[in-house]
Amino acid sequence: MLASVNTSLVFLAKPRLEDEARFFIEEEANPSDEPLDEFVVPPKPPIKLNSLPTGLRYAFLGDDPESPVIISDKLTQEQTFHLMAVLEKHQSAIGYSLQDLKGISPALCTHRIPTDPNIPPSREPQCRLNNAMREVVKKEVLKLLHVGIIYVLPHSEWVSPVQVVPKKEGMTVVQNEKSELIPQCTVIGWRMLIDYRNLNKAAKKDHFPLPFIDEMLERLANHSFFCFLDGYSGYHQIPFHHDDQSKTTFTCSYGTCVYHRMSFGLCNASTSFQRCMMSISSDMIGKTMEVFMDDFFVYGMPRRLRYGFAKV
């Protein structure tokens, strides 16, 4: 699904990222560096329903406005009834926030970070951030602490810094100083990430292959019914092996924390996730299901779709 593109022409000087972000957190005149309160659980974020392209509509599991799913508007009433019955039966497997994550059992899959013993550990200092970026980091760290994805660890041989980068969406056109029209992504906020470049250099690479997308599309062709499932925060579903958790330590203004579950930015995270998903769905891949990372495609006749839903 292609994101809508805004091609409006703006004859302005190139704005700063801070001015462009609609949801940018205003810097306080006198910010206070208050310690993190790990025991105040933040409220569950509200469900935001975006506009849908032609051919799709929202449906709600159990008539609950907090449990939306997207279905085709071309389904008959009977088809919609059977589809919703299957989804409601397995509603516990559908999540809308980090609080809904149950994770994968460590007995099935854990992520390891084998490192080259000839490369010494790297302990980097924290990066300097402005007040707005520190607030973004604080909210993200608190959110991950409350759901158990990270925990505090004061001592570690590996320490990586936190970075804050613009979160972009859509496109606009601006005019630069030379009167040239330059396409530019619209900044809608900020995203926290961990700079694992030194750790990735020392990590031994996992060469597990990813599937070819063109071959997957060929297998999806000539089928009448499809279901597309997205693994919400898929990487956070897989736990780290206990011996390697300390290698994910990151530092920020509020201390040093470690990931309990697999984090983004690690060089072997994608292959670990693909291996885990293929091991779970190995009896269905190429028959009624295709898996590419955290995207699941279930296809075939309605009876097969119901079995595919139950499997996923």
Looking at residue 247, its pLDDT comes to: 93
List, for residues 102-140, the tens digit of each pLDDT value: 778 888 888 899 999 999 999 999 888 888 888 989 988
| 8 A C-beta contact, residue 227 and residue 308 | yes
Q: Long-range pairs for 33-41 at CB < 8 Å and ≥24 separation?
A: 33/253, 35/254, 36/138, 36/141, 36/142, 36/145, 36/254, 36/255, 37/142, 38/142, 38/145, 38/146, 38/152, 41/146
pTM over 0.85: no
Per-residue DSSP letters for 198-235? HHHHHBPPP-PPPPPHHHHHHHHTT-SEEEEEE-TTGG
- Whole-number pLDDT of residue 18: 47
The predicted structure's pLDDT at residue 249: 93
C-alpha 88/C-alpha 67 separation (Å) is 10
Residue 124 · residue 217 · CB < 8 Å = no
Tens digits of residue pLDDT in 26-65: 444 444 455 555 555 566 667 778 888 888 889 888 888 8
φ, ψ dihedrals at 45, nearest 5°:
-65, 145
Phi first, then psi, for residue 278 (nearest 5°) are -70, -35
In 3-124, which ranges are continuous DSSP H helix? 17-20, 77-89
The stretches in the chain having pLDDT less than 70 are 1-45, 170, 301-312
CB atoms within 10 A of CB 240: 22
Q: In the prediction, which pLDDT does 183 show?
A: 80
pLDDT of residue 271: 87
pLDDT given at position 198: 93
Report whether 175 contacts 181 (CB < 8 A). Answer: yes
- Identify the pLDDT of residue 272: 87
Separation between Cα atoms, residue 101 and residue 261, nearest integer Å:
11
